Structure 1
Amino acid sequence: MKKILGVLVVIAAVAGAVWYLFLRDDPVAAAQDVAEAEAAVTLSEYPEKVLWGDTHLHTDNSIDAFGFGTRLGPDAALQFARGDMVTSTTGIDAQLSRPLDFLVIADHSDGLGSTRRLYDAPRALIQDETLLRWHDMMHESPEQSQLAIAELITAASNGTLPEALRDPETQAEATKDIWTTHLATLDKYYEPGKFTPIAGYEWTAMPGGNNLHRVVMYRDGFERTSATLPYPGIDGEIDGLFDYMDAYEAATGGRVLAIPHNSNLSNGLMFELTQADGGPMTAETSRRRAHREPVVEATQIKGDSESHPFLSPNDEFASFGDAGWEIGNLSLTAPKDNSMLAGEYLREALKRGLSIEQQTGVNPYKFGMIGSTDSHTTLATADEDNFFGKHTGTEPDAERANAPQNLGTRVGRFGWNYLASGYAAVWAKANTRAEIFDAMMRREVYATTGPRMTVRFFGGADFSGTDFSGDWVASAYANGVPMGGELEDTGSAPQFIVSALKDPEGAHLDRVQIVKGWINSDGTTSEKVFDVIWSDQDTRRTVGGKVPAVGDTVDRAKATYTNDIGAAELQTVWTDPEYRAGQNAFYYVRVLEIPTPRWVLFDALRFGFELSEEAKANSVGQERAYTSPIWVNQPASGAANAP
């Protein structure tokens, strides 16, 4: 049944695309122009420049964003991302200090545009009592509108949404015009080589309020993506989404991937050791998941999912942005306990992947890492001094940092809990849809919490001659593998090249760490964090194996800091001193900046108010980057992971 539904969603869109051609300017001709422009873009020999983007942005087409008050659509999102000034929903001039290179507008597939349709509907024609009440609440006030959407989200968690918002056929019919119009809008703003809008949406499976959401992202333009519709997810299971992806590729010859996000709000379900039905993980399931989900979202506005102090008690930097998000699942319909954390955080998931690989021969969690915003304001910004909040109710004002931000019916989360995070960094040969997609498939990507530091990471057998002069990057590509790659265990310790350059407009760097995870002969897993290079190494000598804190130059009253500490660049070649032949392992880089002000300090200065004690305690942080891992595998395990 799931496969049939996936095929039907693809085929049903064809009628919508044909209908669209008769009523709109010819998007096929525009798509041909795009194809010619793409073909004219010159590809570099290897990825020479990192591209910055957001793969997870919502506009007024999202069922919740419109209900929260957002009134900006995809045009404004694309204008803002490419660097134009726009006016936010609440009337504030908004502009990025630096444009992004690419953007995925990932509006929710379920109920696409439905809150706008409900808002605009004549009241006398609304027969469902719940929908009528939500209609009236949205018209009453912004506060009541947010309450209505909070009720809607809770109903989605509990499986009690009104039938009009659940029926696939009804939703598919309502989605056709919005989707095809949106795809044509993407082509209108596409400038191959300069700025790349990418087709996608958010699939929102949420059993019992546990977040299993994915962003679905396409490689293709209008001709192929208009032959499908976004796949509904509230009542869905992951196999159904994968069936849909299979059907899309078979029917169109296109390519599509999925990006799990907010695993920290899944109450342990995102990265399970078993299959969804509780049975043992199979090689087929593992292979399918690794192929369909090559990258995951490590950080975003609702918290950081890299690691957690309970799972990594020896890692003093494991806690970042988890306050307020570890008390329960996405909708706070179920509390969280420590037994759930291992299925939620990426480092532990990478270790679980090694365990499953030992049992099945295939690693399902061999993923790269990116960041994105999940902003519902139409504004893709992860800058602390230019943070526009989760939704329009949390755009800049004197209240948002201290106020409860519980979406109407929730408790325990406040404005300061939200992160101004994050961005996706992609090493691609050109700024085009195909090259960005292909970079994600090979996992040559990394996540940052907002700053645009440039990070390189290579693994190989012999980098001892690397002195970071000349074209050392070309040499590293020729003699090793970049982030996201795999090495065969040769019986000698692998070497790694690490290079990190500060954000040109940002803070100096504190240190570069390599996080290693491995599987022991008895089937247990282990991890260790190595400080491989840090600023002021002559004076900051390790104590008990730990590098001392870099210091703190933040002036809390002025929301400023100085680069009197730290380093602008950190580079080294590192050999694993604890290598053991025959151990499958992964290695990834974590780059830490010196302490800098969080957005709450900028708000307090701008609007002249006093932060709560909790907000003050969380007003300074060390921004960071996480690279995709490099895996060291036994020869057989490397072959087993081929798609």
Structure 2
Amino acid sequence: MTFSLRLTLFAGAAVLATPAAAQQAAVTTDAGTIDPARIERFFGQPAYSPYAGRAFPALPLWGEQHLHTSWSPDAFGGGTRVGPDDALRYAKGDEITSSTGQPVKLSRPYDWMVVADHSDALGVVASVYEGDPALMSDPVLKGWHDGRREGGDAAMAVVMEMITLQGQGDLPPAMTDPTTQMDMWQKMTEIVEGHDDPGVFTALIGYEWTSNYGGGNNLHRNVIYRGNKAEADQVRPLTTFDTELPRELWDWMEAYEEKTGGRLLAVPHNGNLSNGLMFATETPDGLPIDADWAARRARWEPLYEVTQSKGTSEQHPSLAPADEFADFEIWDKGNLNVVPKEPGMIPFEYAREALKRGLKLEDELGANPFKFGLLGSTDDHTGISSAEENNFFGKFPASEPGPERSTGNAFDFEGRTVKDWQLGASGLTAVWATENTRAAIWDAMKRKEVYGTTGSRIFVRFFGGWDFAPEDAQRRDPAVVGYGKGVPMGGDLPPASDGSSAPSFLVAALKDPISGNLDRIQIVKGWVDADGDLREKIFDVAWSGDRAPDAEGKVPPVGDTVDVAGATWTNTIGAPELIAVWQDPEFDPALKAFYYARVIEIPTPRWTAYDAAYFEESDFAPEVPMTVTERAYTSPIWYAPD
């Protein structure tokens, strides 16, 4: 069903608070306590202002938690010269100059940003490039200096050699010096602190811990701080020179919190390049996971990066053949070194499989290690966060706009290649925070009240409860009814109090004002059946136009208005907003389950189509996609019978 386009759909405005609403009991959610009784009354009625006393987030805050600048060794080695200061200015809306000399600016500023440069050799590579005499006596570093100065293929060869030596634990000693690292870290936090402007723009402190366990198996995590520079500077960031085991990262995080009183969380990268390690049921060094390991992972890693430039890791099409939207920006050749996958790896790399497996592990271990929310990030290594299809600046400077990227290689490891055109202009994170500050954004991340998109800024509300009614989808204030009757994305359904036969969900979506209309909203359910098998099903719950589901409940495709040659489209199909209340028709109260919403846009031009039009190129291979269906993934809501 469709309704008129109004921002109040998400702000949760009411025309006038009513006495009945004011008499409603206080409701405590992860977003805070909503207590109408504490609102001061005038004229014997509730407060006239419908916003008085509102304690829940009104609008999503858009940002990026995974951007690399010239301070990352591999980024600098690939030619990046945009540093953290310029990267943050760009995020705030300034026009900057890219590493290839091109002017670049966001369509709309971000609300927040994490510069997540690698903690390994943070900032040191720049000194190698400059030819620091103290470093040039090492023949490996001298070779890296020469290769970077030469540029092109020679510079990229240096990057690949660095990745290999890092994975082997054989980097030159100067790269691992802790004193140098601490000095560079304090310079980084000073830059970030200078850009933090509470209420206007939030610069969160963070870094990437870059475990490539076993040689290119991506077990990277971004560590995000809740606090400020004075707190963060007390402890040297962990590097993979210290350890490549996630459990030892959690040890470091726990020790940090005990020493400083601060708070940390970690975000694992998309698992599609981990060669089966990201969600394995044993540790990377071959130990079986236990209840303590599961509980610690759930505590320290409440979120997961479901989409980024190196592919989307929601679900693999081979694991969900009935999901027509699973085959989206898939990278499944191998790990970071393009070491080919072996049979059985893929099920341990994708979010939906992990969410299902987590339910089963909870029954076996007593804790769910994979109870995470979903977000999106770019992982761009250009200092430029570019998740917009018509504004895509690639992963490294070699893949910044230019006619050569129609045939260039994004990765080339001993002849095993991934093409530039396989890079995706993805993704972004929306945080439902009560204010634009470090504490509020971090707290929203911790409680998983976040969602990820593949680049467009779709607004999504998702609530679960036991007594949402169809008429709730007719209201213009879904946030009020959502928080009042249920829990938001990232939450746990409380026990049913009124004997309801199944949970109900309120989901609402509003299009990005400058992107495509909406095709549909889906709710994805995962569970473990009575026989212990992992199960999933996707339900179309709201869609545009007068399409009717087929016999299997599938809604037909929305159509396609893209003019590839002109890199344009028309919003003559789809809907500007969709909203629905849905109740699970197959609910079994004895079985644990999770639910998340997936919002799909109509097709729009992919960045490759914009390139082809701008550069008047015809060299793209026939298999290169020229359209994209942007989408949003909410964090799940979980149900447990007890």
TM-score normalised to the size of structure 1? 0.88
Quote the residue 1:284 is aligned against: 292
Of 260, 268, 274, 1:260 maps to 268
1:214, distance to aligned residue in structure 2 (A): 0.3
CA distance in 2, matches of 1:175, 1:258: 20
Pair 1:273 & 2:278 matched: no
Distance 1:125 1:329, change over 3 A: closer
Quote the residue 1:604 is aligned against: 612
Pair 1:221 & 2:231 matched: no
Quote the residue 1:463 is aligned against: 468
CA distance in 1, matches of 2:413, 2:359: 41
Quote the residue 2:552 is aligned against: 544
Q: Which moved more, 1:212-221 or 1:121-130?
A: 121-130
Of 442, 445, 450, 1:440 maps to 445
Quote the residue 1:506 is aligned against: 515
CA distance in 2, matches of 1:218, 1:61: 19
Pair 1:428 & 2:433 matched: yes
Of 303, 314, 324, 1:316 maps to 324
What are the equivalent positions in structure 2 for 1:107-256 lying under 5 Å apart?
107-122=117-132, 126-165=136-175, 167=176, 170=177, 172-207=178-213, 208-233=215-240, 235-256=243-264
Q: Which moved more, 1:399-408 or 1:493-502?
A: 399-408
Distance 1:620 1:43, change over 3 A: farther
CA distance in 1, matches of 2:158, 2:288: 41
Q: Secondary structure at the match of 1:413?
A: strand
What are the equivalent positions in structure 2 for 1:7-46 lying under 5 Å apart?
45-46=55-56
Given that 2:270 and 2:304 are in contact with CA atoms closer than 8 Å, whether structure 1 keeps it comes out as: no
Distance 1:607 1:361, change over 3 A: same
1:122, distance to aligned residue in structure 2 (A): 4.1
Give the number of equivalent residue pairs: 585
Pair 1:340 & 2:316 matched: no
Q: Secondary structure at the match of 1:245?
A: helix
Distance 1:75 1:279, change over 3 A: closer
Q: Secondary structure at the match of 1:405?
A: strand
Of 65, 69, 86, 1:55 maps to 65
Quote the residue 2:47 is aligned against: none
Given that 2:478 and 2:508 are in contact with CA atoms closer than 8 Å, whether structure 1 keeps it comes out as: no
Distance 1:293 1:614, change over 3 A: farther
Distance 1:43 1:139, change over 3 A: farther
Quote the residue 2:418 is aligned against: 413
Given that 1:213 and 1:260 are in contact with CA atoms closer than 8 Å, whether structure 2 keeps it comes out as: yes
Given that 1:193 and 1:431 are in contact with CA atoms closer than 8 Å, whether structure 2 keeps it comes out as: yes
CA distance in 2, matches of 1:295, 1:138: 36
1:543, distance to aligned residue in structure 2 (A): 4.7
Quote the residue 2:640 is aligned against: 633
Pair 1:531 & 2:536 matched: no
Of 475, 478, 485, 1:472 maps to 478
Match for 2:172: what amino acid? P
1:115, distance to aligned residue in structure 2 (A): 1.2
CA distance in 2, matches of 1:134, 1:338: 36
Quote the residue 1:522 is aligned against: 531
Distance 1:623 1:405, change over 3 A: same
Of 96, 106, 110, 2:106 maps to 96
Given that 2:410 and 2:423 are in contact with CA atoms closer than 8 Å, whether structure 1 keeps it comes out as: no
Q: Which moved more, 1:150-159 or 1:539-548?
A: 539-548
Match for 1:510: what amino acid? D
Given that 1:600 and 1:615 are in contact with CA atoms closer than 8 Å, whether structure 2 keeps it comes out as: no
Q: Which moved more, 1:392-401 or 1:291-300?
A: 392-401
1:411, distance to aligned residue in structure 2 (A): 2.1
1:407, distance to aligned residue in structure 2 (A): 4.7
Distance 1:355 1:408, change over 3 A: closer
Q: Secondary structure at the match of 1:486?
A: coil
What are the equivalent positions in structure 2 for 1:339-358 lying under 5 Å apart?
339-358=344-363
Quote the residue 1:485 is aligned against: 491
Given that 2:120 and 2:240 are in contact with CA atoms closer than 8 Å, whether structure 1 keeps it comes out as: yes
Given that 1:401 and 1:615 are in contact with CA atoms closer than 8 Å, whether structure 2 keeps it comes out as: no
CA distance in 2, matches of 1:197, 1:43: 28
CA distance in 1, matches of 2:248, 2:474: 48
1:186, distance to aligned residue in structure 2 (A): 1.6
CA distance in 2, matches of 1:80, 1:125: 32
Q: Secondary structure at the match of 1:149?
A: helix
Given that 1:343 and 1:349 are in contact with CA atoms closer than 8 Å, whether structure 2 keeps it comes out as: yes
1:347, distance to aligned residue in structure 2 (A): 0.1
1:624, distance to aligned residue in structure 2 (A): 0.6
CA distance in 2, matches of 1:367, 1:103: 21
1:634, distance to aligned residue in structure 2 (A): 2.2
Q: Secondary structure at the match of 1:298?
A: strand
Q: Secondary structure at the match of 2:194?
A: helix
Match for 1:48: what amino acid? A
Given that 2:547 and 2:555 are in contact with CA atoms closer than 8 Å, whether structure 1 keeps it comes out as: no
CA distance in 2, matches of 1:193, 1:593: 31
Given that 1:402 and 1:615 are in contact with CA atoms closer than 8 Å, whether structure 2 keeps it comes out as: no
Q: Secondary structure at the match of 1:406?
A: strand
* Residue segments in structure 2 that go unaligned for 5+ positions in a row: 1-51
Distance 1:232 1:331, change over 3 A: same
CA distance in 2, matches of 1:115, 1:593: 41
1:231-269 Cα deviation digits (max 9, x unpaired): 102542111111110111001100000000020100110
CA distance in 2, matches of 1:567, 1:155: 51
TM-score normalised to the size of structure 2? 0.89
Pair 1:372 & 2:377 matched: yes
Q: Secondary structure at the match of 2:167?
A: helix
CA distance in 1, matches of 2:286, 2:150: 46
User: Percent identity of the aligned residues?
Assistant: 49
Quote the residue 2:27 is aligned against: none
1:470, distance to aligned residue in structure 2 (A): 4.7
CA distance in 2, matches of 1:624, 1:157: 34
Root mean square deviation of aligned Cα: 1.7
Please identify runs of 4+ aligned residues in structure 1 that moved more than 3 A: 122-125, 275-280, 407-410, 488-491
CA distance in 1, matches of 2:284, 2:135: 41
Quote the residue 2:393 is aligned against: 388
Q: Secondary structure at the match of 1:188?
A: helix
Quote the residue 2:303 is aligned against: 295
Quote the residue 2:626 is aligned against: 619
Of 470, 494, 516, 2:503 maps to 494
Pair 1:587 & 2:592 matched: no
1:465-522 Cα deviation digits (max 9, x unpaired): 4144253312211210000000135362000001011001110011111110001122
1:266-292 Cα deviation digits (max 9, x unpaired): 011011123444443221111110010
CA distance in 2, matches of 1:43, 1:99: 29
1:138, distance to aligned residue in structure 2 (A): 1.1
1:188, distance to aligned residue in structure 2 (A): 1.4
* Residue segments in structure 1 that go unaligned for 5+ positions in a row: 1-41, 636-643
1:223, distance to aligned residue in structure 2 (A): 1.5
CA distance in 1, matches of 2:487, 2:463: 5
Structure holding more helix per residue: 1
Given that 2:593 and 2:638 are in contact with CA atoms closer than 8 Å, whether structure 1 keeps it comes out as: yes
1:116, distance to aligned residue in structure 2 (A): 0.6
